[in-house]
Amino acid sequence: MSDIEAGMTIRSLFSTVPLDPLELRILLEYAIGFSRVKLITHSDHPLTTEQAKALSDVVSRRVCGEPVAYITGKREFFGLSFAVCPDVLIPRPETELLVELALERLPHGGKIVDMGTGSGAIAIAIASERPDAHVFATDVSEKALNMATHNALALLKGKQTVHFSAGNWFYALKNVNETFDLIVSNPPYIDSKDDHLQKGDLRFEPVGALTDHADGLSALKILVSGAQAYLKRGGWLLMEHGYDQAVAVRALLARAGFEEVQSWKDLAGIGRVSGGKRK
């Protein structure tokens, strides 16, 4: 953006740059290297030529629609800073509900697998909270698994281990001789006809992590139909899904013979996660 020039103060940027103030703060931290506290205490700091150019570049990318997380290469999730790139879905706050539900149901020393892990956000968040647990994660994308492995090493710092396996859904577990107390997943669930795929941040995210290229239920059906073979008796299957899919997902679980089938709402009051327990 040509209207960001050397000499402008940090304070003045918040009234001139056409971005959400939170997004601008994050981009400022990234572009000029100031901490959140320093941005406040040095609000009258005039931008140098180099700082103005760096900020202008990243603001231009955001104005063109590129997600802030891909510009900065990181996104906070469950109190952890995850590295992200266009090969993985950007972790979202509503998915923290899935982590919380899993932690409530994971017994001491229990085994859990995150199917379609992407950046590793769900699996690593659980592992960071439960060093006693045995945490596994799968993904069909080798690039996603590379990112998840990087995040696990950076965030868990050797205090806990996540075991990663490559493959499409349950095929990834063919060489994993385990049954699990929990199976969790945030699968692609957006209907391929949903026009949201052509809007906002979704335009930049990997399409295969967003939609099943069908009605949005096919990956959920695979998880429901295959989970019982990998769950211990009394083990839970928990899945994130779309805002309008709770009834359909509960029906899938009930037909497959799961017990205690129910849905849970996110902070916006939307049915976001559904699950059931193996008999």
Binding residues for S-adenosyl-L-methionine: 116-120, 139, 169, 186
Distance CA 113, CA 151 (A): 17
In Å, what is the CA distance from 132 to each residue of 31, 106, 140, 162?
Answer: 39, 10, 27, 12
The answer to whether the Cα torsion of 197, 168, 276, 78 is positive or negative is negative
Least Cα distance to 187 among 140, 124, 151 occurs for 140
> Nearest-5° angle of CA 74, CA 75, CA 78?
135
The whole-angstrom distance between residue 233's C-alpha and the CA centroid of its chain comes to: 28
Binding-site residue positions:
116-120, 139, 169, 186-189
Strand partners, 262: 275
Token pair for 263: 């849905």
Looking at the chain, the number of H-run helices and the number of E-run strands are 11, 9
Binding-site residue positions for substrate:
186-189
